[in-house]
Amino acid sequence: MADTATQLHRVWRSLTARALIVLALFIALPVVLYLTFRQADLDRQRLLLESIRVKGLTVGRVLEERLQRADMIPLFRLGEELARFQTEGVSLRLLFRPHESAPEAGFLYVASAPPVQPADLEDERARLEATGVLAQLGESCAGDLPLALRVERADRVAELITSLTPVRTARGCWVLVISSNLTDAAEQRLGQPYWHAPEVQVAAAIYLIFAAVVLVIAFDIAHGLRRFAATARAVAERRIEGRFAQRNQIPELEPVANAFDRMEDSLRATASELRAAAEESAHAFKTPLGTIRQAMVPLRSRVAGDDKRSQQALMAVDGALEKLDTLVRAARNLDDAVADRLDPPREKVDLGALVEDVVDAYAADAATRNVTLRTSIESEASAPLGGRLIADALGQVIENALSYAPAGSNVTVTLHRGTRRVLIVVADNGPGVEAALMPHIFDRHVSFRDRSRSDPGAAAPANFGLGLWVAKRNMESVGGTIEAANRRGGGFIVTLGLPLA
């Protein structure tokens, strides 16, 4: 439960997660507002349309009695008859279809009030036929049909056909078409999709501009953070000159840039102090060691060859001096390695020469164990920094391989060069590693070595001592990687990956 809460807290604190939440709200908000306002607009249009329909139906009821006598009125007088009942904002059209006409024959306009251009009438009739209402009236010639058909006239005046009132007579079927002129802004919207409304289009344009500005700002911030991180790496690795604060382009990150510069100065100062202390300590130890060696010279000349006890004492002193000298060198190398981890030297490293030198340094150890140590340099390659750290890591891996390689077997060190990385592969014919122990192979202070074995060349259980941990630490310090796996057919393989210079 605690782990789940921690993970949820990390997700919530993530800038990416918060950006996704804002994006979801950014998308949902206009959709919700659009649907809500569209429904309100539909309700308002429904009320307005109903009002217009009632007005049209009222006119239709008044004219219905006149239409019953339309057969007796000359056609040229029908327009005048309609004009008597025509009111402001309402248009009347009269269509007729004789009984003796063919079934497929349609209705014809015979009168209108106010007068309308024939082209507009024909367009209106075509629209009515497309809806199928005229065909329905032609069969029964009965019943009022409420409509909401929008018609755009040639004079750019919009009309809304609101009802059709049919009247059957002896001659045929008369149909009174009632339409209303859409004059004010609210009426102009009738029969149009909601998104055609000017305020909706203006709001959409403002929202899109706002969204574009927000996206540009978001991408600029993300790009600035990535550039900030890239600049930090470049300054820390000394691939570019100058202070980090000088290259930072985001004013709000200036305190962070100054803190990075102070931290980098502190690390480099510490590395310099470690190197100086290592050199001074080595010099301080070597002086008394050299004095002791000089003092041993006259003692050797005075000790008789048959004085075994004195000879053994001299040998013990010589052995102790050699051990002290080795410890002094090891302590200095350790201090230099720590300093290199804090501030790796930025010299270009010839990896081919480095591999040859490290292998040569372990050649005597390999010969003592009766193991053949081979080198295969497939191509020239260079790393950008950390030669001492890489050499120490490779040495730890080779030493580990020699400690498990059976007598008479081979340990091979191969240098591959890829397009972006260099691989140094160390392979042996040892016992390999159990699958359950593989995840812990680079752990610190973890060892399963069988200490009862005295033969270093004998096969032993997997050893995960300090050496591979040091190798992993060094490789990570120079931006490299280290991986381990069992070989097919037996043995163990460790791969060191490094960026190309």
Co-location of 291 and 400 in the same domain: no
Q: What pLDDT does residue 443 have?
A: 84
Cα 329 to Cα 286: distance, rounded to the nearest angstrom: 10
Is residue 112 in a domain? yes
Co-location of 430 and 332 in the same domain: no
Contact present, 423 and 394 (Cβ < 8 Å) = no
Instruction: Give the domain-ending residue among 161, 194, 227.
Output: 194
Which helix (H) or strand (E) segment holds residue 377: the answer is strand 372-377
Q: What pLDDT does residue 397 have?
A: 92
- Residue 473 in tokens: 């630490």
Co-location of 309 and 184 in the same domain: no
Co-location of 295 and 440 in the same domain: no
Q: What pLDDT does residue 156 have?
A: 65
- Residue 316 in tokens: 């013990």
Co-location of 379 and 332 in the same domain: no
Cα 237 to Cα 397: distance, rounded to the nearest angstrom: 26
Is residue 303 in a domain? yes
- Residue 256 in tokens: 């962070």
What b/e sequence results for 313-326 when a residue is b if at least 16 CB atoms lie within 10 Å of its CB, and e otherwise? eeeebeeeeeeebe
Q: What pLDDT does residue 461 have?
A: 38
Co-location of 353 and 406 in the same domain: yes
| Bridge partner residues of 377 (DSSP) | 415
Contact present, 149 and 161 (Cβ < 8 Å) = yes
Is residue 363 in a domain? yes
Q: What pLDDT does residue 455 have?
A: 44
Co-location of 455 and 321 in the same domain: no
Q: What pLDDT does residue 24 have?
A: 83
Co-location of 317 and 436 in the same domain: no
Co-location of 384 and 459 in the same domain: yes
3-class DSSP state of 144: coil
Nearest to 334 by CA among 473, 482, 494: 473
Cα 468 to Cα 464: distance, rounded to the nearest angstrom: 7
In this structure, what CATH number is given to the domain that contains residue 444?
3.30.565.10
Q: Based on the number of CB atoms within 10 Å of its own CB, is 334 exposed (0-12), middle (13-18) or buried (19 or more)?
A: middle
In this structure, what CATH number is given to the domain that contains residue 324?
1.10.287
Instruction: Give the domain-ending residue among 341, 371, 399.
Output: 341
Number of structural domains found in the chain: 3
Contact present, 453 and 460 (Cβ < 8 Å) = yes
What is the chain's pLDDT, residue by residue, as a tens digit (501 residues)?
A: 667 777 776 666 677 777 788 888 878 888 888 888 778 777 777 777 777 667 666 766 777 777 777 777 776 677 777 787 777 777 888 888 887 776 566 788 888 888 877 777 777 777 777 777 777 776 667 766 666 677 766 666 677 777 777 888 878 888 888 887 776 655 555 556 666 777 778 888 888 888 888 888 888 888 877 887 787 777 666 666 667 777 777 777 788 888 878 887 787 788 777 777 777 777 777 778 778 878 787 877 777 777 778 888 878 888 888 888 877 777 777 777 777 767 766 778 888 999 999 999 999 999 999 999 999 888 888 887 778 888 989 998 999 899 889 999 999 999 988 778 889 999 999 888 888 888 888 887 666 554 434 344 333 333 345 788 888 888 888 888 999 999 888 889 999 998 876
Co-location of 451 and 483 in the same domain: yes
Q: What radius of gyration, in Å, describes the C-alpha atoms of the chain?
A: 48
In this prediction the pTM is 0.48
Q: What pLDDT does residue 456 have?
A: 41
Is residue 471 in a domain? yes
Is residue 17 in a domain? no
Is residue 460 in a domain? yes
Q: What pLDDT does residue 428 have?
A: 92
The secondary structure of residue 194, as a DSSP letter, is G
Instruction: Give the domain-ending residue among 341, 361, 384.
Output: 341
In this structure, what CATH number is given to the domain that contains residue 75?
3.30.450
Cα 415 to Cα 354: distance, rounded to the nearest angstrom: 11
Nearest to 98 by CA among 35, 157, 171: 171
Is residue 14 in a domain? no
Cα 396 to Cα 466: distance, rounded to the nearest angstrom: 9
Cα 157 to Cα 211: distance, rounded to the nearest angstrom: 37
Co-location of 91 and 170 in the same domain: yes
Co-location of 352 and 493 in the same domain: yes
Cα 94 to Cα 166: distance, rounded to the nearest angstrom: 10
User: 389: Cβ–Cβ under 8 A, 6 or more apart, which residues?
Assistant: 337, 340, 341, 344, 474, 475, 477, 478
List the domain range (segments joined by +) for residue 121. 45-194
Is residue 121 in a domain? yes
The secondary structure of residue 239, as a DSSP letter, is S
Handedness of CA 203, 209, 212, 214 (dihedral sign): negative
Contact present, 272 and 315 (Cβ < 8 Å) = no
